[in-house]
Amino acid sequence: MGEGDEHPTGERSSRASLEPAEYQREVPFGPFILERRIAVGGSAEVFVARPKTGSSPAPRLVIKRLLPTALGEEEFESLEREADLHRRVKHPGVVHVFGAGMVREEPFLAMEYVDGVDAFRLMRFSQTEGRPFPPGLPIYIARRIALALAAVHGTTD
C-alpha cells in the first residue's frame, strides 16, 4: 500500500508503508529508491537503497526509517542524535551517515551500505559445511568491534 491508499478498514494511510509482498520490489522514497527491506526492529526498518539521480552505477546505501509506531518526538530526537553522532565519528569500522531528513513527515537516515555476512551466518556456514571455524577469527572480529566502539564512545555528545 502506498501513500494515500485505502486500508481494508477504509482508512487512508499517510505513510508509504511496505506490505510483505512489496519488501522485494523497488519503491520510491523521496530522493531514493528503496530496493528491498533487509531488517526491521522495534522502532525502525532498514532498506538497501540508491539515489534516484546521480552517478551511474548509483551507489548503494541504507535507509533507516522510523516505523509509524515510533514517530513520537522522543524517537525523532533519538534519530537526530544518532545521525549527529555518526557524522562526528571517523573510524573505518563505523558506517558513514550521508544525511538525515524527512520524507512525507517520515524521519530517516541515509547511511553507507556495507555488503557482507554477519558472524552468525558465518558460523552456521562453517558448521553445515563441516569446516572448522578458524580460531583466530572471533578474536579478530571482537577486536575490530572493540576498536569501533571505542571510537564511538570517545565521541562526546
**Terminal CA-CA length for the chain:** 38
Could you read off the pLDDT tens digit of each residue along the chain, which spans 157 residues?
A: 333 333 333 333 334 455 555 556 789 999 999 999 999 988 889 999 999 887 767 788 999 998 877 566 777 777 778 788 878 888 899 888 888 888 888 889 999 999 888 888 888 998 899 988 888 988 999 999 999 999 988 886 5
pTM over 0.75, yes/no:
no
**Helical segments of the chain, H only:** 73-88, 119-128, 136-153
Beta bridge partners of 44: 66
What b/e string do you get for 58-81 counting C-beta neighbours within 10 Å, with b at 16 or more? eeebbbbbbbeebeeeebeebbee
Cα–Cα dist 36/51, whole Å = 14
